[in-house]
Chain A
Amino acid sequence: MTQPLATIAARIMTLPTVTFARTLGKLDRLLQDGEIATPIIASVIASDPVLTAVILGRAAIVAPGEVTSVNNALVVLGTATVHGLVKNVRPLPEPCQQAVAGIWSLANATAAMCRILGTASPVLRDRHMPEETMHALGLTHDLGSMVGHLLFSGEMCRANARLVGEPRRTFASLLQEELGAPPALLGSLWAHHLNLPPLLVRSMHHQDNPLLAGEDTHGPMLVQLARNLVKGAGFAPAHDPYVDPFDAAIVEGLGLSLGDIQHGMERFFDEEEELALYEGALLFRP
């Protein structure tokens, strides 16, 4: 049975910010040290979708323009504020860790692919979209799946079970039927609550159909292409293992040729060895 959207939104507002205890401990030590360079702290934050969202959202409150890079957010907020924000994030509950590690792995792979394809796209080059912004688009795009696992695990399980027997359906459409909202909507509701910049919220909201994003379709198009390519390359999360159908106009809209995509895949596989270890690192216990 689906839930009314207002009920879903109200539950999302109560969602605590959580991530892997290992990441929180590492950041706590880095921020306490006082002598660690900001880019090192930023690199740890920029591999975690929740921490990135929390910090970009807080920076958006105090900065005059859109802050879509963790490095800029650290400059705007200062490391003491960031340390306070990190201390308010709670460790992820044990039962969710395996599923969320898979989602984080997809997020990091999508972020890398967004950066690679984005720099190859003449359309995005003309728009002067910074690499860090492309990274943030890919990293945060699937926060909705984490919201689903934390708040609506029963509906997520039912949608996943139906996916096996209904080959013409996508996971998003099945979750829409089971819960009343697909992951894209769950993520964008939470992103609104966290005060994320509109560019990131739009990319989350329209990830299933970027051509409906109005005037600014390029961010969502980049995310959709990157997400599906990395799913095909082996970074699909367990609950949604299939490449989703998308419009041929997405590739054309980004001005990418098949050669660009092939070259991008080569670059991605060069980086992939380390990305592939990301999920294992989160769950590593010595």
Chain B
Amino acid sequence: MQRVLIDEQRILLTQAAPGMVLSRSVQLPNKTVLCPRETVLSDDLVLRLMARGIKRVHIRGTPLPGNHQLGFSGRRERLHEAFSRVRHLDHLATLEKVVEHVLVRRA
């Protein structure tokens, strides 16, 4: 997966809103540029990109809050809290370990 820069977000085009600024150009698979970076998105532009089959865009900054802003330790803490009431059941304790293992591997 392409690594996302710290001052940008990769979002689905269905999440795009007018006023967001492209941090990377939008290209077709054949590398034809549809929109250069720094373009300010408008409703019309989003619709036209959708019509061309574009699914994702990179936008400047982090205007949409989400789980990605939690660090690894924050996510692991939340995982432990979520499983705290079912950990006494062996199969659910195992599932918690599986999720934690994946989190650790990706950290």
Give the residues in chain A near B90, CB-CB below 8 Å: 248
CA distance A31 to B57 in the complex (A): 22
Q: A273-B10, A274-B11, A284-B17 are in contact. Are A261 and B95 (CB under 8 A)?
A: yes
Cβ A277 vs Cβ B66 within 8 A: yes
Give the residues in chain A near B86, CB-CB below 8 Å: 242-245
By beta carbon, the residue of chain B nearest A231 is B82
Cβ B98 vs Cβ A272 within 8 A: no
CA distance A81 to B71 in the complex (A): 45
Confirm or deny: B9 has a beta carbon within 8 angstroms of a beta carbon on chain A. Answer: yes
The one of A35, A244, A281 that contacts B11, using a Cβ cutoff of 8 Å: A281
A226 to chain B, nearest CB (A): 12
Give the residues in chain A near B12, CB-CB below 8 Å: 274, 277
Cβ A36 vs Cβ B47 within 8 A: yes
A-B contact count (CB 8 A): 126
Give the residues in chain B near A243, CB-CB below 8 Å: 82-83, 85-86, 92, 96
B41 to chain A, nearest CB (A): 10
CA distance A286 to B66 in the complex (A): 16
Cβ A278 vs Cβ B51 within 8 A: no
Give the residues in chain B near A22, CB-CB below 8 Å: 17
Q: How large is the interface on A (under 10, 10 to 19, 20 to 34, 35 or more residues)?
A: 35 or more
Q: How large is the interface on B (under 10, 10 to 19, 20 to 34, 35 or more residues)?
A: 35 or more
CA distance A241 to B64 in the complex (A): 21
Confirm or deny: B14 has a beta carbon within 8 angstroms of a beta carbon on chain A. Answer: yes
B63 to chain A, nearest CB (A): 6
Q: A167-B85, A242-B85, A261-B98 are in contact. Are A29 and B11 (CB under 8 A)?
A: no
B14 to chain A, nearest CB (A): 5
Cβ A40 vs Cβ B70 within 8 A: no
Give the residues in chain A near B67, CB-CB below 8 Å: 234-235, 272, 276
Residues of B within 8 A of A (CB): 1, 4, 9-12, 14-15, 17-20, 43, 47, 50-51, 53, 56, 63-68, 70, 75, 78-79, 81-86, 89-92, 94-96, 98-99, 101-103, 106
Residues of A within 8 A of B (CB): 22, 26, 29-30, 33, 35-37, 40, 43-44, 47, 167-168, 228-229, 231-236, 241-246, 248, 251, 258, 261-262, 265-266, 269-270, 272-274, 276-281, 284, 286
Q: Which are the 4 A-B pairs with shortest beta-carbon distances?
A: A286-B19, A280-B64, A276-B66, A281-B15
Q: Can you sample 15 A-B contacts with CB below 8 Å?
A: A168-B85, A228-B95, A232-B96, A234-B82, A242-B84, A244-B86, A251-B91, A251-B95, A261-B98, A277-B66, A278-B15, A279-B66, A280-B66, A281-B14, A284-B63
